[in-house]
């Protein structure tokens, strides 16, 4: 059968370029649209660098036998191949840890106390998991260089159990990480259409889990086949797919912000907090509110909200942005549109 090396390189290079474009757009958004780079951005930058490092050593592995049948590989090629595969495992494991850490830090900006607490707990779990797995991968053999030179006397951990345990735990933490904010988002006081958009972004993260599940199916074959250099191909390019889809998912909220900033007319649409009235109804309601505010209440009663009321009246003109959620709600551009918002969204007076 022909070498699978070209397929591995093709997939790896494609996702390396995709990640570069995605990361560039994300940083452009953070710097030029929002004017600041946050911790979650720095974490995803580290994740991208680790992903590119994984892809680089994968290409070197292909040049030294990955994707070819083992009986066609020379002894020097095999030693180099084993060395770069050893390196790739550390880059892969660390990359996954930084991707999930970036997503969890992003959750802390949503300003929900319970979600923030859960995110910090998961950050601790992810840090311990990724750190311990990287250390096990690095020191799986004693002495260390026995990992790429089997002729050296020494001992190694049961790598079969390690790979399977790592894959299973990664899938579990992926599911928890991407499902964590679902309940909070469903309770947000934003239109259902925007809720659906955020949920789609989070569900896109489940593709990372799918890629990880597909990758795990290659591991038993890779660990038991006598032709390991050939059968490892699938696991390697699915590892590249998994890490880079994770980076793409973590960066998706930036795309809406940059499109809204540069194409406001294209993306502009009437959005309203209650999500149950049409713009014309809101127009009518705002004029009624104006009459009531000026004492023209048809029922002859003065309207207002007492101190401590759960709702209050605010004046909005133009775009209302919830930056913490990385999204923009374009409200109808009419003079002095009055919308009733839950007080919990903002307890400070609006100038």
Q: How many domains does the chain have?
A: 2
- 163 three-state secondary structure: helix
The answer as to whether 262 is a domain residue is no
Closest CA to 275 of 340, 322, 183, 327: 340
Residues 74 and 53 in one domain: yes
Note the Cα 310 to chain centre separation in Å.
Answer: 35
Instruction: Give the pLDDT confidence of 171-180 residue by residue, as tens digits.
Output: 999 999 988 8
Q: What is the DSSP-derived secondary structure letter of residue 30?
A: I
| Confidence band for 21, pLDDT divided at 50, 70 and 90 | very high
Q: What average pLDDT does range 225-245 have in this prediction?
A: 93
Instruction: Give the pLDDT confidence of 45-64 residue by residue, as tens digits.
Output: 999 999 999 999 999 999 99
Q: What is the CATH number of the domain that holds 151?
A: 1.20.1070.10
Dihedral sign for Cα atoms in the order 42, 44, 45, 47: positive
Q: What is the Cα gyration radius of the chain?
A: 26
Range in 45-54, 254-263, 273-282, 289-298 the model is least confident about: 273-282
Residues 218 and 87 in one domain: yes
Residues 186 and 326 in one domain: no
Q: What average pLDDT does range 3-24 have in this prediction?
A: 95
pTM reported for the whole predicted model: 0.74
The answer as to whether 304 is a domain residue is no
pLDDT at 264: 65
The answer as to whether 303 is a domain residue is no
Range of the domain at 170: 5-256
Strands (E), the chain: 141-142, 155-156, 311-316, 319-322, 327-330, 337-342
Residues 55 and 154 in one domain: yes
The answer as to whether 169 is a domain residue is yes
Residues 210 and 323 in one domain: no
Is residue 266 pLDDT above 90, yes or no? no
Residues 333 and 224 in one domain: no
pLDDT at 57: 97
The answer as to whether 338 is a domain residue is yes
- Rank 35-44, 178-187, 214-223, 316-325 by mean pLDDT and report only the highest: 35-44
The answer as to whether 58 is a domain residue is yes
Residues 243 and 97 in one domain: yes
- Provide long-range contacts, Cβ within 8 A and 24+ apart, for 108-116: 109/38, 109/40, 109/324, 110/181, 110/184, 110/324, 110/325, 111/324, 112/181, 112/184, 114/184, 115/180, 115/181, 115/184
Residues 152 and 175 in one domain: yes
The answer as to whether 272 is a domain residue is yes
Residues 26 and 68 in one domain: yes
**Measured distance CA(189)–CA(196) in Å, rounded:** 13
The answer as to whether 100 is a domain residue is yes
Residues 291 and 338 in one domain: yes
Cβ 276 vs Cβ 285: under 8 Å: no
Residues 238 and 280 in one domain: no
Is residue 183 pLDDT above 90, yes or no? no
Residues 335 and 240 in one domain: no
Please give the angle made by the CA atoms of 130, 25 and 200, to the nearest 5 degrees: 70
């Amino acid at each position: 059968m022909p070498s699978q090396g070209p397929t591995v390189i093709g997939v790896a290079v494609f996702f390396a370029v995709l990640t570069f474009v995605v990361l560039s757009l994300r940083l452009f958004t953070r710097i030029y649209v929002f004017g600041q780079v946050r911790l979650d951005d720095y974490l995803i930058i580290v994740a991208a660098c680790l992903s590119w490092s994984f892809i680089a050593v994968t290409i070197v592995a292909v040049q030294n036998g990955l994707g070819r049948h083992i009986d066609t590989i020379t002894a020097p090629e095999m030693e180099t191949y084993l060395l770069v595969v050893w390196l790739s495992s550390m880059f892969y494991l660390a990359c996954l840890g930084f991707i999930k850490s970036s997503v969890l830090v992003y959750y802390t900006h949503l300003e929900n106390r319970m979600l923030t607490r859960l995110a910090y707990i998961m950050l601790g779990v992810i840090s311990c998991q990724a750190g311990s797995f990287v250390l096990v991968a690095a020191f799986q053999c004693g002495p260390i260089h026995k990992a790429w030179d089997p002729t050296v006397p020494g001992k190694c951990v049961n790598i079969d159990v390690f790979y399977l345990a790592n894959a299973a735990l990664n899938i579990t933490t992926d599911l928890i990480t991407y499902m964590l904010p679902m309940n909070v988002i469903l309770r947000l006081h934003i239109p259902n259409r925007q809720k659906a958009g955020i949920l789609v972004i989070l569900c896109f993260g489940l593709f990372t889990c799918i890629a990880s599940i597909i990758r795990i199916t290659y591991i038993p074959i890779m660990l038991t086949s006598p032709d390991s250099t050939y059968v490892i191909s699938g696991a390697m390019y699915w590892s590249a797919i998994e890490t880079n889809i994770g980076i793409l998912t973590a960066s998706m909220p930036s795309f809406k912000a940059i499109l809204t900033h540069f194409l406001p007319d294209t993306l502009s649409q009437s959005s309203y907090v209650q999500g149950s009235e049409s713009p014309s109804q809101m127009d009518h309601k705002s004029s009624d509110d104006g009459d009531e505010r000026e004492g023209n209440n048809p029922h002859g009663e003065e309207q207002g909200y007492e101190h401590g009321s759960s709702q209050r009246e605010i004046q909005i003109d133009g775009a209302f942005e919830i930056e913490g959620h990385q999204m923009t709600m374009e409200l109808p551009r009419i003079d002095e549109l009055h919308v009733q918002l839950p007080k919990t969204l903002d307890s400070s007076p609006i100038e």
